[in-house]
Structure 1
Amino acid sequence: MKPTQMECGKGSLNQIPPYCVISGDIRLTPFYDVKDVYDKMEAWVKDLNENIDKLPTRGPMSKYTLEGEDIDIKRGKIELEWGAKLDDARDMEGIACNMESKGFAALCKATEAVKGKAVPYAITGSLPLVRKMQREGFDLQITGYGLSKTYHADNEYCLLSDMSDAFAILVRLIELNDK
């Protein structure tokens, strides 16, 4: 999990906040099944809650359980809330493209014809339904022609010359597949 946001209940500077929310996302390579990750995360949270009194601390006054008559909350508690239902998350599973397929060979050949060479590389990310399509037998290749250094950046941009090359590559790809 990549924690990217944090919030907590406000109080005085000398008070421990009553709650803390950590939000983030989990990025999977295509070799992991989303359901396995859901199940494992749920099991870890359950185990942590059942054994919260056994977690390492920084001494007897720094622990996740409290005793005493005047204490409202006796045990710390971890709650896991998914941002997507399992079926919706499965729709966003990534893939590993088949580098032995006809589609991959044609894409490389088309790229070489326009750019002089093809340099395939892997990058993690996800697109809706690609894993389902691949499981159904589609020869899927994912390609992009923007600038990697600007992906998801503020003021993301691409070069028109790269888009012109992209168009030429896709035209060549169609020509190769029409033969």
Structure 2
Amino acid sequence: MISTATFRASRPPIVGPDVPKPPFPIRLQGYIQRGFGRGGRDLGCHTANLPDDALEPITSATEAGIYYGYAQVSNQHQGPEQKGSLGEEDLKVLPMVMSLGRNPYYGNKKTSAEVHIIHKYPTDFYGHYLAVVVLGYIRPELDYTSRESLIEDIQTDIKVALNSLDRPEYSKYSHKPLIDSSSPE
């Protein structure tokens, strides 16, 4: 495993080629489920957790780590947890950072995909349908010695994702809906 201190000292502000290269783009979709509740509570970074059966397209083509791309939440939902409709701004295609892996700091036993949509939502959106297009890789999954260093790297990941998505061949993905309005599935 890479030394966290060594890796953190050499973070580039932009990652990936100027055009997404295979295996990207990778599309994921599913109904948002409850995770561990740590993203917002412990890390100040709310996440939308994809169901296990939605992960195959990315787990078969990549490794654990932090990724960037775009996400879109739909007002279509399932289950009892839905708290109300989201507004027009909440339903746009928005930039995202995604953690794929077991989150060694927390010692998870199974692989998960936790999507942090870079947007301030007014309410929880558990049970809503989520579509994601993953466009690139930011960094490997690291095992942190402190929550503060993890939070600092999450903030850096967000900046790197926004910088990387600001290139023309990436930003064009934000102009087309990821969810077909007729049906989420």
**Is TM more than 0.5 here?**
no
TM-score, normalised with respect to structure 2 = 0.25
Q: Select the structure of larger CA radius of gyration.
A: 1
Q: Which has the higher contact order (CA 8 A, sep 6+)?
A: 2
The structure richer in helix per residue is 1
Higher strand share: 2
